[in-house]
Amino acid sequence: MPAPTPLPARGLTVIELMIVVALLGVLVALVAPSMRGMMTAQRVRGVNAELVTDLQYARSEAARRNQDVGVAFQSTGSMSCYVAFVDVAPTAPACDCTLTPGSVCSGGRQEIKTVQLPLSDGVVLSVTSTDGPVVNFSRSSGALLPTAPGGAIPPGFEVDVTGTPRGKLRTRVGMSGRPSVCSPDASVSGVPSC
């Protein structure tokens, strides 16, 4: 019986494995920054979607409760936040959203909802409206009210949601009280630029 012929050895050499690992490392280094930007842009979309929903909620609560409803925005060194509240005393200061959610507001105002965004999440809220950091909805129509007693009705209210390193959305509340969204720097796809 003839001796079986040995099969040639199959497998990868150490050098071939090192080349494959190096190529995978280069690919990961190229893709990681764009993935981070894409994740931040999605975070901006999510925060902005919640903001739009909460503004619509505040507007509908004004009609449902037959009381004016306000939404106040604030920023600190560690977070940005907003609070929706029933405006029972127009001369009292707005609710402080940096307090623990569910806290009693000054001046007898009643908190409806508080949203706090830690800066460590990479998303920041900033009011770009010249009329101040509070938007008020009318109990009768849901339209915008003056931010100060006896003041003029603002032409609109704007809030920017900005992500680091990428993503910026602007929510504008028109005089009728309806929010609309655009991207000032066109950094978020699927949203019209403004």
pLDDT of residue 82: 92
| Share of residues in the chain with pLDDT > 70 (%) | 89
Average pLDDT over residues 16-22: 93
Average pLDDT over residues 123-131: 85
What does the block give as tokens for 12? 């990868």
User: Which has more pLDDT, 93 or 162?
Assistant: 162
Q: How far apart are CA 20 and CA 31, in angstroms?
A: 17
Instruction: Band the pLDDT of 171: cuts 50, 70, 90.
Output: very high
pLDDT of residue 136: 86
Greatest mean pLDDT range, 50-64, 84-98, 110-124, 142-156: 50-64
Q: Whole-prediction pTM value?
A: 0.78
Instruction: Band the pLDDT of 159: cuts 50, 70, 90.
Output: very high
Number of other residues whose CB lies within 10 A of the CB of residue 96: 16
